[in-house]
A and B are shown apart, each in its own frame.
Chain A
Amino acid sequence: MELYVLIIDDNLKLKEDTLVWELQDKFGESNVFFISNPKEALEFINSNLDKNIIILLDIQFPDNEMNGHNILSEIRKLSELIPVILWSGVNESKETFSDFINNNAFRFISKTATNNEVMEVIDEAVKYFKTNLDNTIEDWIIQKDEDKDKAVYFTSDGKSYTLNEILYEIRSQTDIGKSFAKKLNELTIDLLLRKKEDLND
C-alpha cells in the first residue's frame, strides 16, 4: 500500500524541518509533499483522490487566504476518507473546535510537538488506512490480479462495475462508491447473521 503525506502550511521554514526528513525516510522522498498555498493544496488533493494521503494541516494562514477551518471543510467536500491531522501553534484556549469535530479531524497536535509525538499520530493514520475498505480491496487486487476486472456491483440502471472500478469509485467518494460500501457492509452482516459465513481471526 502506497502512502503519501501532504503538509499544508504557510511557514516555508517547515519545508526543511527534521519532521519532513523523518517523513521522507519513512514514506520515501517523493511521497512527501509540502504545499504552502491552500488553493494549490486543495487542487492537489482533488487530483489525487485515488491515492492514500495523510494530511498535516496548519490552522493559521495569512488573512487573505483560507485558514485551517475552511481548508478542512473544503477537504471534506472532496472526501471523507482522508485523515487530516491539525497541526498548529495557535492558542488552543482561544480556538474553536466544534467545526473540527464536525469535519472529522483525525487528531490535533501542537507546533511544539517532537518528531516522535508527530510520528505516533502518523502511525495511527497509517493503521487507519490499513483497515480501510478501499485498501482491503486494493490488497486483494494486488494479490489476485485476475479478479481485477470481474464485475462486482450492478446498479438499477443496468451498469456494472468491476472490482477495480469500484475501488476508484470508493476513493473518489462518488455516490456509487458510497452506496457500494454501505451495501457491502450490510451484506456481510447479513451473511454472518444467517450463518452463511463465519468470521474467525
Chain B
Amino acid sequence: MSKSSQTQINYLNFNFDVSSYRLLGRELITDRITALFEIVKNSYDANADRVEVEFIDVNPRNQKSKIIIKDDGLGMELNDLKNKWMVIGTSSKRRERTSPAPYNRKVVGKKGIGRFAVDLLGSKLTLKTKKKGEKQWIFLETDWSQYSDLEARQLTLPFGEDREYFTDIKNNYWFENANENEQGTILEIESINDTWTEYDVVRAYKELARLVSPNSKITKYPFNIKIKSNYEGYEDVLVKPLSFVEFATISIELKHDKERGVQEIIVFEKGELIKKEVSPRHFGLVDFYLYYFNQSDKRKFKDKFNIDIDGIKIYRDGIITTPFAETEADQNKQKDILGIDKRRYSGFFNKVSSRDLLGFLELTDENNTNVIEATNRQDFIDNDEWKQVKLFIIEQIQQVEKLLQYERENIRQVTKSDLGKANEELKNIKQTIASVKKEVSPEVKKQLQFIEADLGKLQGTVNKSIRDYAKLEEDSKQKESLFFSLVSLQTYAAMFSHMTKHTIGHVLRDAEYFNKYFPNERLNDRFKLISNRIYSEFLTLRTGVDFMLKYAQSDSEVEDINLYELINNLFNNIYSNAFKSESIECQLELSNKLILNYNKKAIEDIFDNLISNSVKALKGNNDKKIKCSGIIEQDKLVLYFSDNGIGIPDEDRFRVFDIFFTKTAEDGGAGIGLYMVKTRIEAMQGSIEIVDNEFKPTGATFKIVLPFKK
C-alpha cells in the first residue's frame, strides 16, 4: 500500500509498557500458527462473514514476501485505533462478552493480543480499516522491529517500578477516500519473520479448521475462512472442518431431542456400547461427539492429517469456546480443562487420555446458559453446571474404557485358555502315541519315538509360554503398584514444596533478623522466640524429608510396625499443617502396643490416602473432625476411620473404591486414593467397606479389617 498524494501523515503512539508487552504478547503467542489463529479470531469477533489469509511469495522469504489477512468485519474508526488498537487490552472495561448485534457472537479473541500476533508473523504492518459509513479508509503503519529493539534495551521484570512507555516510537497514519459501504480490516504484513513452507500453510489450514465445529448446523451468520497461497490445493480454499469420522476406532455421536426433553448417552452393557435416552442433566441438553483412536488408527490419522489427536473440545453455537480457543502447539503444555488426563496414565490398564480421543461437546447459548466461560479465559466458571458437564464427559469416556477393558480381557482369556488347551491336546496326543506304540512294528515304533521326543519339546515350549504369560501378568501388576506409588509421591511432592517454601521463608527471615539485631537486651524475648521457631520449623522440615525419602526406598520389605505411632505421626506431624490451616480436629483411639508385621509404606499409603480423602470431604464444613479407632477381635484388627465431611451418597457406596472414580477432581483428586487403599488392604488379605457413619448427621466411616498373620 503506497501513500497516495492526497494523504496527510500523522502519528499515533502505542500506550503500553515493556513488561506488559513481554508478559501478554510473547508469552501468550509462542508460534506463528497460534498468531494466525488469534488474528482470525479477532475477525470473528468483529462480525466478519469471511476472512481471507493470503500468503504471497513466502517461500523463499524475500523482499516481496507478504501475508495479508483481510476481513469484512466492522472495522475501526480513528478513535478505536487510538483507544483500542494502540492500548494493550488489559482493561476489564473493554472486555465485552459478545460482539455487536445482530450477530451477538460470543467473543473468542483475546483483546489486545492480535497485534502481538502480527508482530510474530512479520515486523512491518500496514493496517487498513474502515467502518461502514465512513468516507475514508484509515491506514496505520507500524514497524515492530523498533519495539523489539526497545524491549531488548529496557527489559525489566513485571511489576517493575519504571514502566517505560513505547511512546517515543511514531506510527504513521493517513487516510484514503473510499466507498461508504465498504467495511473491514486488512492487515498487510511485510518483512515476514519466517519462510512458510507448504507444510506450514497446510498446518495453518488445519489449525484454523478447529475454530468452527464440524458438527455446527448452519447458523444465521456463518463465518468463513479462506486461505490463498502458491501451493497446490491451497491456491484458494475455503477452510472446512476436518472429516475424520472414518478414521476413528470407535465413533459415538450423541444427540438430544428438545421436544421430548431427552438426552442420548452411551452405556456399556454385556460387551457393547448401547445408546440410551435419559432425562437432561442439570446443565441442559447437549450434542456430544466422541471418537476413540487405537494405536494403529492413530497412526493412520496422523499420516492422513498430520495433526495431533488432542482431546475433547467444547463449542458453543458452533464456535470454539474460549478456554479451548488457545492453540498450544506443545501437547505437554495443553491445559487439561476437563480433567481427562488427571486420570492420567494413558494406556496403563485401560485408561484413555486426551491423546486417544477427539471430541466435540456442542453447547448452545439457549440450552446451556449456565455453563459460562470464565473471564480469565482459562476455564469455565466453577458452578454446579460446569461440574456436571465434566462429570458427563468423563462418564461417557468411562463407558468407552469399559468396552476397551472388556475387549482386552477377552483377548487375554482367549490366549490363556488357548495355551491351556494346546497343552491338554499335546498330552492327549502323547497318550495316544504311547498306547499305539505297543501295537506297531519296530520301524514305526522308532518313528513314533522321534515324534514323541518332538512332542516333548513342543510341550516344553507350551509350558514355558504358560509360565511366561503368568509372569507377564505378574509383572504388569508390579508395574501397576510402582506406578501408584509414583502418583502418591507426586501429590506429596506438591504439598511438600509448598510447605518448604513457607518454612524457608520463616527461618530465613528469623536468621536475618537475628543477624541484624543481635545482641540487644531489649529484644531478648524476640530472640528466644526466633530460636524456638527455627528449631520447630526444622523439625517439620525433617519429618517431611524423611517421609519423602521413604518413597525412594525398596517396596517389598516387611517390618514390625507400631500402628499407633504410624497414624499418630501422620496426624500430628505430616498432616499437622494441613489440619491446622483447615481447622481439622483429629482423634486417635488405638492401643499403642499393637504391632503389625507388614510393609510400612503400604500401611502408610493406606492412611495417607484415607486422611487426604477426608480432608477433601471436610472442605466447607465448620466443625471438622477426623477420627480413627481400632479394636482387636480374636485374630483380626478392626479399624474405623471416620470424618464428618460431606459423606458418600448411597449410590456411590460401592464405586468409591473404583479406580478413577472421583468427585473431587477440582481439588486434585485423581480417583486413585481409595482404589489404592482397597488394593493394598486386599493384598494383606484384609477388607474395607463403608459402614454407617459414626458422626451424624453427615460424614463417612470406613471399616477396615486386617487379619493378624499366623
Contacts and interface: CB of A to CB of B under 8 A. Distances in A.
A107 B619 contact: no
B620 interface: yes
A19 B378 contact: no
A3 B24 CA distance: 34
B509 A17 contact: yes
Interface stretch (B128-136, B137-145, B499-507, B689-697): B499-507
A192 interface: no
A13 B619 CA distance: 21
A18 B510 contact: yes
Interface in B486-516: 497-498, 501-502, 504-506, 508-510, 512-513, 516
A91 B497 CA distance: 9
A72 to B, nearest CB: 12
Interface string B534-569: 000000000000000000000000000000000000
A102 B90 contact: yes
A164 B378 CA distance: 45
Contacts of B498: 89-90
Interface string A120-148: 00001000000000000000000000000
Interface string A76-99: 000000000000011100001111
B509 A19 contact: yes
Contact of A63 (B497, B512, B667): B667
A105 B159 contact: yes
A173 interface: no
B376 A101 contact: no
Contact of A18 (B502, B512, B581): B512
Contacts of B91: 102
Contacts of B581: 10-11, 62
A114 interface: yes
Contacts of A22: 513
Given A11-B502, A13-B502, A63-B620, 14 more contacts: A17-B506, A17-B509, A19-B509, A21-B513, A62-B581, A89-B501, A96-B378, A97-B23, A98-B23, A101-B159, A102-B91, A112-B505, A112-B508, A114-B508
A1 interface: no
B526 interface: yes
Interface in A4-37: 10-11, 13, 16-19, 21-22
B393 interface: no
13 contacts: A13-B502, A16-B533, A17-B509, A18-B510, A62-B581, A62-B582, A62-B619, A89-B502, A98-B23, A98-B24, A110-B501, A111-B505, A113-B505
B595 interface: no
Contacts of B159: 101, 105-108
Chain B interface size, under 10 / 10 to 19 / 20 to 34 / 35 or more: 20 to 34
B512 A116 contact: yes
B158 interface: yes
A98 B376 contact: yes
Nearest to B161: A124
Given A101-B90, A102-B92, A114 B509 contact: yes
B20 interface: yes
A64 interface: yes
Contacts of A115: 509, 512-513, 516
Contact of B506 (A13, A97, A102, A124): A13
B529 interface: yes
B339 to A, nearest CB: 16
B394 interface: no
B372 interface: no
If over half of B's interface residues share one DSSP class (helix, strand or loop), that class is named, otherwise mixed; here it is helix
B530 interface: yes
Contacts of B90: 98, 101-102
Contacts of B376: 96, 98-99
Q: Which 5 A-B pairs have the closest CB atoms?
A: A18-B513, A89-B501, A111-B505, A112-B505, A64-B620
A109 to B, nearest CB: 9
Nearest to A22: B513
A45 B321 CA distance: 37
A198 to B, nearest CB: 25
Nearest to A114: B512
Contacts of A63: 619-620, 667
Contacts of A16: 529, 533
Contacts of A21: 513, 526
Interface in A143-194: none
Given A63-B620, A98-B376, A111 B502 contact: yes
Nearest to A88: B501
A197 to B, nearest CB: 25
Contacts of A107: 159
Interface in B154-183: 158-159, 161
Nearest to A106: B159
A127 B181 CA distance: 54
Interface in B20-58: 20, 23-24
B501 A97 contact: no
Nearest to B378: A96
Given A62-B581, A89-B502, A111-B501, A18 B23 contact: no
Contacts of B23: 97-98, 101
Max chain B Cβ within 10 angstroms of own Cβ: one of A18, A110, A114, A115: A18
Contacts of B20: 101
Contacts of A112: 501, 504-505, 508
Contacts of B529: 16
Contacts of A96: 376, 378
B546 to A, nearest CB: 21
B376 to A, nearest CB: 6
Interface string B268-308: 00000000000000000000000000000000000000000
A29 to B, nearest CB: 13
